[in-house]
Amino acid sequence: MHTTTDPLASVEQWDDYVQERYRPDRAEAEFRDYDHAPEGVRELYRQNHEFQTLAAVQGKERAYERLDRESTPMWEILERLNTLVDESDPDTDLPQIAHALQTAEKIREDGHPDWMQLVGLLHDSGKMLCFYGEPQWAVVGDTFPVGCAWSDSVVFTEFFEANADRRRPETQTATGVYEEGCGLDNVHMSWGHDEYIWMVLKDSKIPDEGLAMLRYHSFYSWHREGAYAHLMNDDDRRRLPWVKKFSGYDLYSKSDAPPEVEELKPYYQSLIAKYLPERVAW
């Protein structure tokens, strides 16, 4: 039995917060003081911004890049993510898979390509990190580059005061340990479910734009606020409109009626079969 019930409950709370904070129709000023953030979310960001140093991120990358934890059919992964939620709230209607399917279904309704629908289904599956014992600060939270100065448009910038990279001057300039225009592919992003699902699916048949949606969907300071332009290259400029487009579906999916999981399963299984290997390495 897993003992990660509490972290995932916090993950859910964070999801709700993000949905509320970044809704495309929300006026910027409304949220600028972050007063709306529940205490659990503030605490999550306090830890996230303290512990996401360049060295910590590189450590997580090394710990996960071999993908030697398990090899599992994708649908089983989606069901497992749901099991965790059920433990913390037995009455609820499958929140993780509901968000996954609702995001996918909205993308499908609007006639977007099948790979983008699949990205909608899978984009939060990196929360498998909860099962591997990761604390919530290493699973969720807005993501941002590490190894260079933090943009003011990252939420709760004041919590970066406690980050050890403050005392490493080479990480505190605009480009930091990187070069102007080097491309986000060459930048270390704070560790979490975005980076992990990208790692897991980067060698699948999902096209480049889809991989960018997976990797950067929580990178709000970039795709919503326009920060970090100095690190972008032409690939990033091409990917950005896709990531923005995806974000709208991610944020707006929650208001819908719960999806008919069993009814939708065959269709999404066919997309999984088209783009992913039978077993996915985690």
Nearest to 135 by CA among 51, 39, 219: 51
- Alpha carbon distance 31, 22 (integer Å): 9
Q: Of 124 and 195, which has the nearer Cβ to Fe ion?
A: 124
Minimum distance from residue 217 beta carbon to Fe ion (Å): 5
Given the complex with Fe ion, which of 124 and 165 has the nearer CB atom?
124
Distance from C-alpha of 100 to C-alpha of 253, rounded to nearest angstrom: 9
Distances (CA, A) of 78 to 54, 100, 147: 30, 9, 33
Residue 181 or 248 with smaller CB distance to Fe ion: 248
Is 257 within 8 Å of 106 (Cβ atoms)? no
User: Is the alpha carbon torsion for 83, 89, 93, 99 positive or negative?
Assistant: negative
Going by their DSSP bridges, the two strands 71-72 and 280-281 should be labelled as antiparallel
Q: Report the residue number, 103 or 171, with the smaller CB distance to Fe ion.
A: 103
Q: Least distance in Å: CB of 166 to Fe ion? A: 27
120: closest CA among 275, 238, 7? 275
Binding site for Fe ion (CB under 5 A): 124, 250
- Nearest approach in angstroms of CB 19 to Fe ion is 8
Q: How far is the CB of 77 from Fe ion (least distance, A)?
A: 15
Cβ-in-10-Å burial (0-12, 13-18, 19+) of 66 comes to exposed
Minimum Å gap between C-beta 97 and Fe ion is 12
Closer residue to Fe ion (CB): 131 or 178: 131
Nearer to Fe ion, 165 or 209 (CB): 209
Q: Which helix (H) or strand (E) covers residue 280, if one does?
A: strand 280-281
Nearest approach, Cβ of 197 to Fe ion (angstroms)? 9
Contact 214, 119 (CB under 8 A): yes
Complex with Fe ion: residue 12 or 250, whichever CB lies closer:
250
Residue type, 242: W
In whole angstroms, the minimum distance from the beta carbon of 218 to Fe ion comes to 5
